Amino acid sequence: MPGELDEAVPLPRTRACPFDPPTGYRELAGGGIRRLSFPLGGEGWLVTSHANAKAVLSDARFSHRSELLASPLPPPFELPPGDHRPPAAEPGAFNKMDPPRHTAYRRAIGHLFSPRAAADLRPAIEATAADLLDAMAAQGPPADLVRDFARPLPAAVVFDLLGVPADLRAPLQDNLDTIMRLTMTLDELIGSVTVVGELLDELVASGRAGGALARLAARGDLDLQEQRNIAWALLGGGTDTTSNMIALGTVALLVDPARRDLLLAKPELLDGAVEELLRHLTISQFGASRCATEDVEVGGVLVRAGETVVVALPAANRDAAKFPEPDRLDLTRDARGHLAFGHGVHKCVGQYLARETLRVAYPALLGRFPGLRLAVPAHELRMRDDMDHYGVHEVPVTW
What's the pLDDT at 27? 78
Contacts 24+ apart (CB under 8 A), 177-186: 177/240, 179/236, 180/236, 180/240, 180/387, 180/388, 180/389, 181/76, 181/386, 181/387, 181/388, 182/73, 182/76, 182/386, 182/387, 182/388, 183/76, 183/77, 183/386, 184/76, 184/77, 185/77, 186/77
Set out the domains of the chain in order of their start, with CATH numbers.
8-398 (1.10.630.10)
Q: What is the pLDDT of residues 107-117, one digit of tens each?
A: 999 999 999 99
This prediction has a pTM of 0.95
Residue 398: which of 140, 118, 167 has the closest Cα? 140
Paired strand residues for 8: 35
pLDDT in tens, the chain (399 residues): 444 456 899 999 999 999 999 999 987 766 689 999 999 889 999 999 999 999 999 999 999 999 999 999 999 988 877 667 788 999 999 999 999 999 999 999 999 999 999 999 999 999 999 999 999 999 999 999 999 999 999 999 999 999 999 999 999 999 999 999 999 999 999 999 999 999 999 999 998 999 999 999 999 999 999 999 999 999 988 889 999 999 999 999 999 999 999 999 999 999 999 999 999 999 999 999 999 999 999 999 999 999 999 999 999 999 999 999 999 999 999 999 999 999 999 999 999 999 999 999 999 999 999 999 999 999 999 999 999 999 999 999 999
What's the pLDDT at 79? 82
What's the pLDDT at 236? 87
Q: What is the pLDDT of residues 319-352, one digit of tens each?
A: 999 999 999 999 999 999 999 999 999 999 999 9
Measured between alpha carbons, how far is 129 from 153 in angstroms, rounded to an integer?
6
User: How far are the Cα atoms of 10, 188, 385 from residue 183, in angstroms, in the given order?
Assistant: 18, 10, 11
What's the pLDDT at 2? 45
